Structure 1
C-alpha cells in the first residue's frame, strides 16, 4: 500500500506546494486535503485507519488544527500526526504534543526537519 498522506491546510498555495513535495520527494500519495477543522474531522472519522501521515496546520479557515488533533483522541487506529504551522510557539508545541501529535514543525524555519521526519516515516512504512 502506498504511503498515504492527508493534509489539513487552508492556504491553497501551501497545500499545492506540500502536495508536490510529498508526492515528489517522499514518493507518497496525498489521499486528501481540506481547509477547515470540520472537513478534517469528518474525513478522518470516515477514513479511520486509512492514512499513514496526517499533516495539520494550526491556523485554519474555520476552526483550528488543535481541534483536529483533539478529535483524534478517540481514534484507535491512526498513523503519524505532524503539526506544520507558522504558529509554532512553545505553548502551541506543547499543546500539540499533549493532544497526540508526534511532532511539530515551524513552516518557515523547520521545513528541512519536517521533510526528514516524514521521509523516515515513509521509509519505516516501506521497509
Structure 2
C-alpha cells in the first residue's frame, strides 16, 4: 500500500524530479499538485480525508506555504503536513511549526531524511 501525497510546489523542474522520487523512494502516490496557496487550499477543501501526506514548499507562485499549512490545522489525526524548502532558516522552521507543520526539511541537505520520513509514514499506513 502506498501513501497518498498532495504536493504543493510551484517549480516545475522540482515537481518533475520529486514525483517519481517520491513514488520510488518514499512508497508514495502523488495524487495531486498545486502551484499557489489558493489552488492548494481549494484542492484540500474539496478532498478532505483523501490524502495521507501534504508536502508543501515555502514560496509559491502566489501566496506562501505557511497559509497552506495553517489551513491544514483541522486535518485528520493520521494526516501529516511537511515542508520541503530551500529556505530552512530558524525563523522559517519556527513559523511552519507554529502554523502546524509536522516537520520541516531542507531541499538541499535533508532529502534523505525527507524520504525516510515518507517511508516511516508508509509503514504506519500499512
TM-score of Structure 1 vs Structure 2, range by shorter chain: over 0.9
Find the aligned partners of 1:77 and 1:115 in 2 and give their Cα distance: 22
Using a 3 Å threshold, how does the CA distance of structure 1 residues 113 and 76 change in structure 2: closer, same or farther?
closer
Find the aligned partners of 1:20 and 1:6 in 2 and give their Cα distance: 14
* Matching residue of 2:76: 77
Find the aligned partners of 1:112 and 1:2 in 2 and give their Cα distance: 18
2:53 and 2:80 in contact (8 A); partners too = yes
Normalised to the residue count of structure 2, the TM-score between the two structures is: 0.94
Secondary structure class of the residue paired with 1:50: coil
Greater RCO (CA < 8 Å, at least 6 residues apart): 2
Using a 3 Å threshold, how does the CA distance of structure 1 residues 87 and 24 change in structure 2: closer, same or farther?
same
Backbone CA RMSD of aligned residues = 1.2
| Unmatched 5+ stretches in structure 1 | none
TM-superposed CA distance for 1:28, in Å, is: 1.6
Normalised to the residue count of structure 1, the TM-score between the two structures is: 0.93
* Matching residue of 2:63: 63
2:26 and 2:116 in contact (8 A); partners too = no
Q: Which runs of 4+ in 1 moved over 4 A?
A: none
Secondary structure class of the residue paired with 2:81: strand
